[in-house]
Amino acid sequence: MKNRRDFLKNSLGVGAGFAAAPRLFAAPQANAAGMDMKHMDHATVRSNSGMVSVETPDVAQLPRHMDGSVKEFHLIAEPVKQEIFPGRVVDLWGYNGSAPGPTIQVNQGDRVRIIVDNHLPEATSMHWHGFEVPSEMDGAPGSSQDPIPPGGRFVYEFTLHQEGTYFYHSHMAMQEMMGMIGAFIMHPKEPYKPRADKDFAIIMQEYAILPNIKVPNSMNMEFNWLTFNGKSGPANTPLIVRHGERVRIRLINLGMDHHPIHLHGHQFVVTGTEGGRQPQSTWGPGNTVLVGVAQSRDVEFVASNPGDWMLHCHLPHHMMNQMSSMVGPMSRRNGMPAGLDMERGMGMLRQGSATSEENGPSLGRGLGVGSTAEQAMSNSLLTAEKPMPHQDIPDMQGMQMGKPEVSKDANSVPGFPQDAFMEGPMMAMDQMVDKPENFGLRPGWSGFMAGMMTFVRVLPPDKYDQIMELRKKQEGNKPMKMDMPGMEPHHE
């Protein structure tokens, strides 16, 4: 790490502020074998056919092993500990050490074998979503096979004649809500036209996790942690593209909510769905695509507008982190009734407004204890008496506080605070999420990124090269770097 800091300072003239804070955020991206594959970036690998490998920022690629002409993969269903946000480590269920699980990339026409081991404490099943494979390979528990018992294994094998953005997931409904999904990309035999220079995949997931709790409430109907590839903003790794490149982003959704995904600064066209490539005659311009549950959508655009552009779900509650504790008077009081009876817990108001003192942020959210017990509790470090976090609060180290920008009479304005919950404007944590892909972002940027939100950074060549150089340097500092055969596609 020291080397990297020195590199940053020496080669780029970066002030100490950039690298001085402790690096508290480390993405747990090791696979089952303990290999760090976070930065396996194959976007620069271009084959003769002109296709590029799909990058899944913050999620590893699943290596393959050739058994004759069969591509063999190994997935392990297991509990994982995942840092979805700096300091917020939660207990999820996923595959090979992460949720979502690692990305599988194959070519149309491939024969594949996937060994699925179940290291969960209960039975599971693996469904290949949208795959046209023999019924006994479908992974439907009960109807096409027995569920895989704890400690058990099932070997799937099939030939893939499709192309497009697919995914694999547990077909046990509650396990899905614990994180059990991964991307499964089938590259076409004939390259798509026009060709894309960059190809990304993002999986959307949501969790209901109360403050001080580590296990998602999978029965919940409302969610307070929203993730792209297992990270909530600003912890996501931005999508880095060079000015002028054609970009494809594959969006995958498997949760309780539909997500309208919006891109700033560009119009895009929807070129594919969970059924594969769509005919060009269907491509109309837009900048928001609704990705429904169990769907995927591919969007493409030419990155013609330089800048750091937000890519995010546009549902307001999906642009927040741990929102149950942030909005409303709870962030400024010692405590309040955290939940009332069921009618009010369901959001059926009898008096006051949703953020009024009689009600409170748990209203309508049903987040476990908050909706079932009447008790005074504050889940914020802030109170009206002590609104600004102190440096001696360990959780707050590494945070940069914005200047207070609230009016003198703010407390008397009904509804206050909403976005000014920290008296802020916002708490930034640029240094806690420091990584090459964030280099050069406007100082304080991280205070305004939350939930399902990341950047598409459209960079002029020199800035682009700088970040690639930083990335390479960081990979060089990794303790272990393995050549993983089978990162698709090679299309040699």
CA distance 199 to 261: 17
User: Site size for Cu ion, by CB under 5 A?
Assistant: 4
Distance separating alpha carbons of residues 379 and 13, to the nearest angstrom? 41
126 binds Cu ion (CB under 5 A): no
Write down the least CB distance from residue 264 to Cu ion, Å.
16
Backbone torsion region of residue 381, taken as left when φ is above 0, otherwise alpha when ψ lies between -120 and 50, otherwise beta? alpha
Which is nearer to Cu ion, 120 or 261 (by Cβ)?
A: 261
Q: How far is the CB of 53 from Cu ion (least distance, A)?
A: 27
Residues in region 20-59 near Cu ion by CB under 5 A: none
Do 444 and 400 form a contact (C-beta atoms < 8 A)? yes
Q: Which listed range, 142-150, 217-225, 316-324, 392-400, lies at the site for Cu ion (CB under 5 A)?
A: 316-324
Q: Closest approach of Cβ 219 to Cu ion, in Å?
A: 19
Cβ of residue 120: shortest distance to Cu ion, in angstroms?
27
The residue (of 235 and 330) whose beta carbon lies closer to Cu ion is 235
The answer to whether the Cα torsion of 299, 301, 305, 306 is positive or negative is positive
248 vs 259 by CB, closer to Cu ion: 259
Nearest approach in angstroms of CB 295 to Cu ion is: 13
Nearer to Cu ion, 235 or 313 (CB): 313
Give least dist CB 452 to Cu ion, A.
Answer: 5
Rg (CA), the chain: 23
Query: Pairing state of beta strands 400-401 and 276-277?
Result: unpaired
Distance between CA 357 and CA 351 in Å, rounded? 11
Number of C-beta neighbours around residue 133 at 10 A: 18
Distance from C-alpha of 234 to C-alpha of 224, rounded to nearest angstrom: 15
Q: How many residues does the chain have?
A: 492
Nearer of residues 186 and 313 to Cu ion, judged by Cβ: 313
Binding flag, residue 208, Cu ion (CB under 5 A): no
| In the complex, least distance from residue 254 CB atom to Cu ion, rounded to whole angstroms | 13
Contact flags string 294-313 toward Cu ion, x per CB under 5 A: -------------------x
435-to-19, 83, 237, 308, 475 alpha-carbon distances in Å:
10, 15, 8, 15, 11
What's the farthest any 2 CA atoms get from each other in the chain? Answer: 73
318 binds Cu ion (CB under 5 A): yes
Q: For Cu ion, which is the closer residue by CB, 210 or 313?
A: 313
DSSP state of 489: -
Query: At how many degrees (to 10) do helices 461-476 and 2-12 cross?
Result: 160
117 or 206: CB nearest Cu ion: 206
* Nearer CB in complex with Cu ion: 262/463: 262
Choose, by CB under 5 A, the member of 21, 294, 315, 369 that binds Cu ion: 315
Which ranges of 303-363 does DSSP label H, i.e. alpha helix?
342-345
The stretch among 23-31, 156-164, 318-326, 424-432 that binds Cu ion (CB under 5 A) is: 318-326
Nearest distance from C-beta of residue 401 to Cu ion, angstroms: 28
Q: Decide whether 226 or 377 has the Cβ nearer to Cu ion.
A: 226
Residues of this chain, 237-296, that bind Cu ion according to CB under 5 A: 259
Least gap, CB of 259 to Cu ion (angstroms): 3
* Burial classification of residue 104, based on how many CB atoms lie within 10 Å of its CB (0-12 exposed, 13-18 middle, 19 or more buried): buried
With CA atoms as reference, report the closest residue to 327 among 286, 259, 380.
380
Alpha helices in 204-348 (DSSP H): 342-345
Binding-site ranges for Cu ion (CB under 5 A)? 259, 313, 315, 318
